[in-house]
Amino acid sequence: MARYQKGYNTGEKIYQCAKNLMYKRGYRNATIETIALKADVPVGLVNYYFKKDEILARMYKEFDMKIRSFIAENFGQAEEDLLVYRIVFNRIFFSVTLSDGKVRALFKEVFTKRLLVGDDKYFNETALMLRSLSVDITQAMLFRLMTAESGALSRLLLTFYDKMDFPKDKALIDLMGCVVVSLAGVESSVISEGISKADKLLARKDIAKVGFI
């Protein structure tokens, strides 16, 4: 048990040092060697615990959970409407990432490396959202829709991400959150209603409180 705890502590120390370095210096400048130096461990030990892409993916997932916790605490009613939930989530995500150049650069790596393609949780949540909107869809068709969504989002992000601004580009951010809904044939009036509900919810809270670090 003591050996397991020591191994866990070492892994966490390496991860926290890597996270800090990637945020401060950027993904490419936070090399395995600099991470090892910061964590005061051999280079081989860093490689044993993590690949750089795994560290970056974990950083994204932690940020994802931070946003979800904020929504649960402040917008509990959004959890009852999955379309509104997705719009709110997207607004908070881009509000934070676009307001900090270092975070913006980190998540550009996430998108360009397609580290989140095939995420089971996102797939299941999308299925639930479409069913809540009365979309009768097979798993095979959902997979095709999400493949198309992934391609569309990649194109949008690669084209606009570097110049995107929040809240100026709120409409584009909402569009990205609703791509799969539109592809599934949900009426534009339903999507517009979801956006209006999200507007009302977000007007009540300061989402700038959701920091990355």
Q: Where are the domains of the chain?
A: 1-50, 57-209
- Residue 117: what pLDDT? 65
Q: Is the peptide bond before 167 cis (omega within 30 degrees of 0)?
A: yes
What is the pLDDT at residue 88? 96
Question: Three-state SS string across the chain, please?
Answer: CHHHHHHHHHHHHHHHHHHHHHHHHCCCCCCHHHHHHHHCCCHHHHHHHCCHHHHHHHHHHHHHHHHHHHHHHHCHHHHHCHHHHHHHHHHHHHHHHHHCHHHHHHHHHHHHCCCCCCCHHHHHHHHHHHHHCCCCCCHHHHHHHHHHHHHHHHHHHHHHHHHCCCCCCHHHHHHHHCHHHHHCCCCHHHHHHHHHHHHHHHCCCCHHHCCCC
Tokens 């931070």 belong to residue: 66
Q: What's the predicted TM-score (pTM) here?
A: 0.91
Q: Are 87 and 194 in contact (CB under 8 A)?
A: yes
Taking the C-alpha atoms of residue 162 and residue 98, their distance in angstroms, rounded to an integer, is 9
Query: Is the domain 1-50 a CATH 3.90.1580.10 member?
Result: no
Q: Which of 168, 193, 191 is nearest to 178 (CA)?
A: 191
Q: What is the pLDDT along the chain (213 residues), one digit of tens a residue?
A: 545 455 668 999 999 999 999 999 999 999 999 999 999 999 999 999 999 999 999 999 999 999 999 999 999 888 899 999 999 999 999 999 999 999 999 999 988 887 776 678 889 999 999 999 999 999 999 999 999 999 899 899 989 999 999 999 999 999 999 999 999 999 999 999 999 999 999 998 888 788 887
Q: Which amino acid is at 77?
A: Q
Q: What is the pLDDT of residue 4?
A: 47
Give backbone dihedrals phi and psi of 186, rounded to 5 degrees, phi first: -70, 135
pLDDT at 7: 61
The one-letter code for the residue type at 197 is: K
Radius of gyration of the chain, Cα coordinates, nearest whole angstrom: 19
Mark 125-135 as b/e (b = at least 16 C-beta within 10 Å). Answer: ebbebbeebeb
In order of 111, 116, 139, 191, the CA distances from 123 in angstroms are 17, 11, 10, 19
